[in-house]
Amino acid sequence: MTDTDIPDGFEPLSRKSPLTEPWEPLYAKKTDKAVIIGLRLAKPHTNGRGLIHGGLIAALADNAMGYSCAQMTNWTTSFVTISLTVDFVGSAEIGQWLTIESDVIRTGKTICFAQSLAKADDVVIARASGTFRVVPKKG
């Protein structure tokens, strides 16, 4: 994969985790109100039928919504997932560009509500909603 396969505005995702490491490279584009996660779909992202795995969508939606909540608080707090709901409305295949685009509904002192759309080549394939607990950063 080359940098020319990556849409403008996306840079390597700086936040790494053991869960997402096998799915690298992951990319992010920050806006004023959200962190959009993107990746070029490959074999490690698929199920036994060669379609994108729902677990990948759920995990990336969880990350994108949590990061977007954090961005709305200028990264001064952390968030842990209370609930996550995903509705699958389509599928995607190897080679397509997947984005998880989030929208923070409300951030309070203890709870953040967010939603996101998963899109394969700009076609919606899933929607997710999440509720996150605000966890003040120590130190």
Confidence (pLDDT) at 3? 47
Give the gyration radius of the chain's Cα atoms. Answer: 15
Structural domain containing residue 122: 19-136
92: tokens are: 């995607």
CATH label of the domain that carries residue 110:
3.10.129.10
Quick check: helix, strand or coil at residue 55? Answer: helix
Backbone angles phi, psi at 4, to 5 degrees: -70, -15
Residue 9 lies in a domain: no
Residue 3 lies in a domain: no
Give me the number of domains the chain comprises: 1
CA 79 – CA 92 distance, rounded (Å): 29
Amino acid identity of residue 72, one-letter, is M
Backbone angles phi, psi at 61, to 5 degrees: -65, -40
Residue 12 lies in a domain: no
Residue 1 lies in a domain: no
Neighbours of 90 (CB within 10 A): 13
List pLDDT tens digits, range 19-73.
Answer: 999 999 999 999 998 999 999 999 999 999 989 999 999 999 999 999 999 999 8
Residue 116 lies in a domain: yes
Q: Return the beta strands (E) in 1-139 as ranges.
A: 11-12, 27-30, 35-40, 77-88, 97-107, 111-120, 123-136
- CB–CB of 35/68 below 8 Å? yes
Backbone angles phi, psi at 34, to 5 degrees: -160, 165
List pLDDT tens digits, range 79-134.
Answer: 999 999 999 999 999 999 999 999 999 998 999 999 999 999 999 999 999 999 99
Contacts of 32 (CB under 8 A, 6+ apart): none
Residue 10 lies in a domain: no
Could you tell me where the DSSP H helices lie in 43-139?
54-72
Residue 52 lies in a domain: yes
Residue 4 lies in a domain: no
